[in-house]
């Protein structure tokens, strides 16, 4: 399961960040996930909950922002934002520049899986 290995990676990264800041408990985690990453958000949250059991992340509130797919035409420089409701396969199969019809289009956003914010308790309280 792609989501679970990603979840374990996120939990480990948050644990590292928390220990760097002497946090005793992590209360909230905000993620940014690109639409093209093909991660199922519910499964990802579930995976993080399982992977954080018994750690300082246990019980943290997890929220996910979806990043739209953005691309740029390498021929004419037109910026392209792709509607999220389309299936990823349709998007990739029909990705052409709306201005010059070039297929030389580079995806510049949408594959992300990043930890945007961490809320943590530092110290003993
Ligand atoms: Zn173009």
The CATH number of residue 38's host domain is 3.30.2320.50
CA of 107 to the centre of ligand 1 (A): 13
Residues 6+ apart with CB under 8 A from 20: none
For residue 124, the model assigns a pLDDT of 64
Going from the C-alpha of 10 to that of each of 6, 68, 92, 116, the distances in angstroms are 6, 21, 27, 11
Q: Are residues 13 and 63 in the same domain?
A: yes
Q: Are residues 102 and 46 in the same domain?
A: no
CA of 81 to the centre of ligand 1 (A): 13
Question: Is the pLDDT at 108 greater than 80, yes or no?
Answer: yes
Q: Are residues 19 and 62 in the same domain?
A: yes
Place of tokens 């792709």: 82
Q: Are residues 7 and 28 in the same domain?
A: yes
Name the residue range of residue 16's domain. Answer: 2-68+110-122
CA of 85 to the centre of ligand 1 (A): 23
Provide the domain count of the chain: 2
Beta carbons within 10 angstroms of residue 35's beta carbon: 22
Question: Is the pLDDT at 125 greater than 60, yes or no?
Answer: no
Q: Are residues 60 and 87 in the same domain?
A: no
Beta carbons within 10 angstroms of residue 53's beta carbon: 10
Question: Is the pLDDT at 84 greater than 70, yes or no?
Answer: no
How does pLDDT run across 20-43, given as a tens digit for each residue?
A: 999 999 999 999 999 888 899 999
Strands 105-109 and 113-122: unpaired
Q: Are residues 58 and 93 in the same domain?
A: no
Tell me the average pLDDT across 70-90: 86
Q: Are residues 98 and 117 in the same domain?
A: no
CA of 75 to the centre of ligand 1 (A): 5
């Amino acid at each position: 399961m792609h989501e679970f290995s990603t979840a374990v990676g996120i939990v480990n990264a948050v644990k590292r960040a928390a220990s760097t800041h002497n946090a005793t408990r992590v209360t909230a985690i905000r993620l940014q996930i690109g639409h093209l990453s093909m991660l199922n958000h519910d499964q990802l949250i579930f995976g993080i909950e399982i992977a954080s059991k018994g750690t300082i992340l246990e019980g943290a509130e997890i929220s996910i922002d979806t990043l739209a797919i953005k691309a740029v035409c390498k021929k004419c420089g037109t910026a392209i934002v792709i509607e999220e409701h389309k299936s990823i396969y349709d998007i990739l199969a029909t990705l052409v520049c709306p201005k010059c019809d070039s297929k030389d289009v580079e995806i510049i956003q949408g594959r992300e899986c990043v930890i945007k914010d961490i809320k943590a308790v530092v110290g003993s309280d």
